[in-house]
């Protein structure tokens, strides 16, 4: 019997915890600095994008491929390994990044992009010093830029961005 999964807050939280547990397990044994940086950013919630998860997964899969090629060259065959042998650190890292890849949103977070633009505009334009006389004659550039960013945010709401399902 097939059941349809609903996208509830509890389901999302459970999936996030599952991915987090896989990343924590892989972090304990995997030593690649780039992958560890990605894992730190994912766990902190700074970067959970599809592109970064794909890159981390690709890095770990390349290490897995190298390990299997080295095992083949060294004469080890699959028959020599036990059926229940442990995963290699690279395999654990590839699994964790793969889970993050599957759960990552495909569509970009438009609101996060607009917030970053608003912050950049505020910080850059606040450095522009104007004389007090010029300030009283016209509105500040920072204020106009922020108003423009807010207007863009109102037009581009995330509910209008189609979500695509991945298998």
Residue 41 in contact with residue 55, Cβ under 8 Å? no
Residue 39 is predicted with a pLDDT of 94
Cβ count within 10 A of residue 119: 12
For the ranges 36-40, 47-51, 116-120, the lowest mean pLDDT is seen at 116-120
Tell me what pLDDT residue 33 has.
93
Residue 82 has pLDDT above 60, yes or no: no
Residue 42: other Cβ atoms inside 10 A: 22
pLDDT at residue 61 in the model: 93
Please write the tens of the pLDDT for every residue from 109-132: 677 677 777 877 777 777 665 544
pLDDT at 142 over 70: no
Does residue 99 have a pLDDT over 80? yes
Within 8 A by CB and 6+ apart from 128, the residues are: 141, 142
State mean pLDDT over 144-157: 68
Reading the block at residue 86, the tokens are 């442990």
Under the banding of pLDDT at 50, 70 and 90, the label for residue 7 is low
The model's pTM is 0.55
């Amino acid at each position: 019997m097939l059941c349809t999964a609903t996208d509830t807050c509890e389901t999302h939280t459970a999936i996030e915890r599952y991915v987090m547990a896989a990343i924590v397990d892989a972090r304990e044994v995997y030593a690649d600095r780039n992958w560890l940086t990605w894992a730190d950013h994912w766990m902190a919630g700074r970067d959970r994008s599809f592109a970064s998860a794909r890159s981390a997964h690709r890095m770990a899969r390349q290490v897995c491929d190298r390990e299997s090629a080295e095992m083949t060259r060294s004469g080890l065959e699959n028959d020599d390994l036990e059926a229940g042998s442990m995963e290699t650190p690279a395999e654990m890292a590839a699994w964790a990044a793969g889970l993050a890849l599957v759960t990552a949103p495909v569509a970009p977070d438009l609101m996060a992009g607009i917030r970053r633009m608003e912050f950049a505009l505020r910080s850059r334009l606040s450095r522009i010093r104007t004389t007090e006389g010029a300030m009283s004659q016209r509105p500040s550039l920072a204020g106009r830029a922020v108003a423009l960013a807010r207007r863009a945010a109102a037009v581009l709401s995330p509910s209008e961005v189609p979500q695509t399902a991945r298998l």
